[in-house]
Amino acid sequence: MDNWNVREAVVAGMFYPADKKALMRQVVELFERAKPKKIRGNIKALISPHAGYIYSGLTAAYAYKLLENKKFDSVVIISPSHREYFEGVSIFPGSYYRTPLGDVPMDLELCKLIVDNEPAIKLSQQGHIEEHALEVQLPFLQIILENFKLVPIVIGHQIKDYSYKIGEVLGKVLKNRNALVVASTDLSHYHPYEIANQLDKIAIDAIANFDYEKLLNELEEQHTEACGGGPAAAAMIAAKNLGANKVEILHSCNSGDVTGDKDAVVGYMSAVIYETPVNEKK
């Protein structure tokens, strides 16, 4: 395979183990510890954190465990860009995303369809080469789903317009497809524990209420923080267009809960966005 065609793992050994067996062991253990509430309905999207697994891995496992015994042909992951600022939205132009667990094939047909239907989204390596927020989601998916194709989307400049455009185009191209949308986001960064909880509650409440407009407004007015707030809103918009009518918060915590150091913490949450059975819709 040509090097440009494969997006190599760049945070293996930092955010999660570089050794295949150690990585499998850690993720399986996180799945064993996660006890998410039962969801009755069709899962359309997940929101998952992206810190090192020792910090946010359990929170992520609460979301991904819901996929046990389920099959999805394609998974669209929407990520912020931490390392590289660029205008617009990018989809990696190669064929594979690599982790220590193996290569995840891109859904080339779906990638092209998205780019063809939304001019703001381009095939580009921008935002992909060093980004951890997308990569850290993959081992969970590789273990719980085994076989799936990937659409990796990175938002360069998080403005409301891009969240809506991504959500709308995904709502259009994923109709009648067996696909899952995943948004990658952490919450507040480096505030004292109590302040972090106050900030995080604003974002969590907006997500729990399926109110992406409120989430985007609260972020814009700096009442709350979420480095992947744009991806979270985009996933909510896409899920709504695909028939979802309910959000459940699955787990939330911050790094202070894990380490005991509460001076400057990072917040994490996971959620599922789904369509309730017909007879349960109000």
- Tens of pLDDT, residues 233-251: 999 999 999 999 999 999 9
Three-class secondary structure of residue 2 per DSSP: coil
Could you report the per-residue pLDDT of 207-224, keeping only the tens digit for each?
999 999 999 999 999 999
Rg of the chain in Å (alpha carbons) = 17
End-to-end CA distance of the chain: 52
Could you report the per-residue pLDDT of 152-182, keeping only the tens digit for each?
999 998 999 999 999 999 999 999 999 999 9
Q: For the chain, what is the mean pLDDT?
A: 96
Domain annotation for the chain: domains and CATH numbers = 3-182+197-280 (3.40.830.10)
At 4 the pLDDT is: 76
The Cα 28–Cα 153 span in angstroms is 26
The pTM of the whole model exceeds 0.85: yes
Contact 155, 231 (CB under 8 A): yes
Compute φ and ψ for 134, nearest 5 degrees. Answer: -85, -45
Contact 152, 158 (CB under 8 A): no
Helix (H) or strand (E) holding 236: helix 229-241
How many CB atoms sit inside 10 A of residue 124's CB?
A: 17
Closest-CA residue to 64 (of 43, 79, 81, 80)? 43
Rounded mean pLDDT, 75-98: 96
